[in-house]
Chain A
Amino acid sequence: MVILKTKAGEPAVRGIQPLVNIQETDKEVILEAEMVGLSKEDINLELKDDELIITGKAREPESMKGYTLIHRERCPFEYVRSFMLNDIIDKDKINAQYENGILKVTLQKTEAAHSKKIEIKG
């Protein structure tokens, strides 16, 4: 059951979309996004109605005094991605941590949405 999805028809915004993995367990949904090169303060999580918006931008461009760039593949650290949350997510219980370039967002499900095992009477 996919309970989170990228908002369709997203307008073209500056920044790259981070790659994400989403896991769902009985009680929570865990979202992991690859956002290298930021510090914790550079990341912004915003909840606008049902939309969870993740943005991140490195505050200062890396200064490379005395160096000349001779080969480039990496891009500036600017990330944008948003997800639509549905009713089973408890919007007051969202927390996030950033480690080794991965942003991990833990979304708790509401009590009512917890899966319960139903005993079959013989």
Chain B
Amino acid sequence: MTLIPWRPREEWWDPFADLERIQSEMNRMFNLSLAQQGSRNAGLLEGAWSPAVDIHDSKHNILVKADIPGLTKDDIEVTVQGDVLIIKGEKKQDKEIKEKNYVRTERFYGSFQRSIRLPSEVKVDKVEATYKNGVLELVLPKSEKAKPKQIKLDIK
């Protein structure tokens, strides 16, 4: 892998353009190496692998997306305790094929757990979960008391 791609020198050399190139290249490198590792700051109970998670916030809902390849929806367990969301599951290896037949194994198998502190409390009974193309998507409606309230003040 080349760090900095070769480019023909422009007539007027711009040092900042080079710096920008290095920065974008560095960003790309970090994406390559850290992308598939899931979370770096995983807790004690979290094992060798845990899914990478994005959290989106809106006025009424919290949206959580997790990359969990190769499971079926029955293998995933989602629980909510207060403002903590727990995603659990097990990635199972194909039993039909004997281990000695593997010539390369990079994928992770085994059980995993990920707990995420949500930005606010949610309505546990109204959580919607979908699993499609290896992505788990959770829509968690915020509980009434967690929603921002508008207070009208009479200005005299």
Residue ranges of A at the interface with B (Cβ–Cβ < 8 Å): 1-4, 10-12, 14, 16-17, 19-25, 30, 32, 34-39, 64, 66-75, 98, 100-102
Contact = CB atoms under 8 A, between A and B. Distances in A.
Contact of B67 (A1, A14, A39, A74): A74
Contact of A100 (B38, B54, B107, B133): B133
9 nearest interchain CB pairs?
A101-B134, A36-B134, A101-B69, A67-B56, A71-B55, A73-B52, A22-B104, A19-B106, A34-B69
Interface in B47-76: 52-59, 61, 63, 65, 67-72
B67 A37 contact: yes
A4 B102 CA distance: 12
Interface stretch (B9-17, B27-35, B144-152): B27-35
B70 A101 contact: yes
B63 A67 contact: yes
A73 B53 contact: yes
A92 to B, nearest CB: 22
Given A12-B2, A71-B54, A37 B103 contact: no
A72 B54 CA distance: 5
Contacts of A75: 31, 35, 52
